[in-house]
A and B are shown apart, each in its own frame.
Chain A
Amino acid sequence: AQSVTQLGSHVSVSEGALVLLRCNYSSSVPPYLFWYVQYPNQGLQLLLKYTSAATLVKGINGFEAEFKKSETSFHLTKPSAHMSDAAEYFCAVSVYYNQGGKLIFGQGTELSVKP
């Protein structure tokens, strides 16, 4: 069965420091992978997605993620954290299901940015 594991429910970094949010997936077929961001009391916004083209995917707000098949990972990074990056981040894997697709979410990682 497909699943997503986000390591660390809470990550804290200083402003200007590297952001690294970890995501590992389990899938028996080549997956489609997504990172979403959620600000408090708001919906989810797509940061980036992997659909089997380039393994290094660039997204919005300076984020990027690298698909590593051998490690079944899709970690999210940003070279320099900004206060506005404080939010909850969700990794998700999408698979074929019932002639359609199904998005399976990780439990989320809350990112705090210290001044």
Chain B
Amino acid sequence: DGGITQSPKYLFRKEGQNVTLSCEQNLNHDAMYWYRQDPGQGLRLIYYSQIVNDFQKGDIAEGYSVSREKKESFPLTVTSAQKNPTAFYLCASSIADKPFYEQYFGPGTRLTVT
């Protein structure tokens, strides 16, 4: 079964710690994305990658970092510099980074920082 996996489903961290969220896809998609979802605010783009070894900042990249060393993997690190990291994080992928291609989403990781 092709799809996107995100792990873990729930993640708890203490303030001041960095944490890495995993995202893996076996759809052979070139483009991958990270979104943050907060209640009543829709989804906001954090980072995206059009191709391996390349990525760009989205609308709310401050306090986050990513890497794209493999086509199938796009991990997101939430650093201690992110002021309000508690949120639901969604990873997505697309055949290519073109507006007429739909994005496929993973099941999400809920991060709670206390």
CA A106 to CA B102, docked complex, whole Å? 16
Query: When A41-B108, A43-B90 are in contact, do A100 and B100 touch as well, CB less than 8 Å?
Result: no
Neighbour of B40 across the interface among A43, A44, A45, A107, CB < 8 A: A107
The answer to whether A46 touches B98, judged by C-beta atoms less than 8 angstroms apart, is no
Cβ of A55 under 8 Å from chain B = no
In the complex, residue of chain A having the shortest beta-carbon distance to the beta carbon of B58:
A102
B31 within 8 Å of A by Cβ? yes
**Chain B interface: which of A67-75, A78-86, A89-97?**
A89-97
- Select one of A34, A51, A101, A108 contacting B42, CB under 8 A: A108
Known: A90-B42, A107-B41. A44 touches B90 (CB 8 A): yes
Q: From residue 1 to 37 of chain B, which have CB atoms closer than 8 A to chain A?
A: 4, 6, 31, 33
- Which chain B residue has the least Cβ–Cβ distance from A101? B99
**Contact indicator A43/B110 (Cβ below 8 Å):** no
How far does the alpha carbon of A101 sit from the alpha carbon of B97 in the complex, in Å? 5
The range of chain A's interface size is 20 to 34
A9 to B33, CA, bound (A): 25
In the assembly, what is the distance between CA of A43 and CA of B106, in Å?
5
Residue of B nearest to A9 (CB): B40
Give chain B residues whose Cβ lies under 8 Å from the Cβ of A46: 102, 104
Partner of B105, one of A32, A41, A44: A44
Give the residues from 66 to 105 in chain B that come closer than 8 angstroms, CB to CB, to chain A: 88, 90, 92, 94, 96-105
Q: List 30 A-B contacts (CB under 8 A).
A: A32-B99, A34-B102, A36-B105, A41-B110, A42-B107, A42-B108, A43-B90, A43-B107, A44-B43, A44-B90, A44-B92, A45-B105, A46-B102, A46-B104, A49-B102, A90-B42, A94-B100, A95-B99, A98-B56, A99-B50, A100-B48, A101-B94, A101-B98, A101-B100, A103-B45, A103-B99, A105-B42, A106-B42, A107-B40, A107-B42
Residues of A that sit less than 8 Å from B by CB: 9, 32, 34, 36, 41-46, 49, 51, 90, 94-103, 105-108
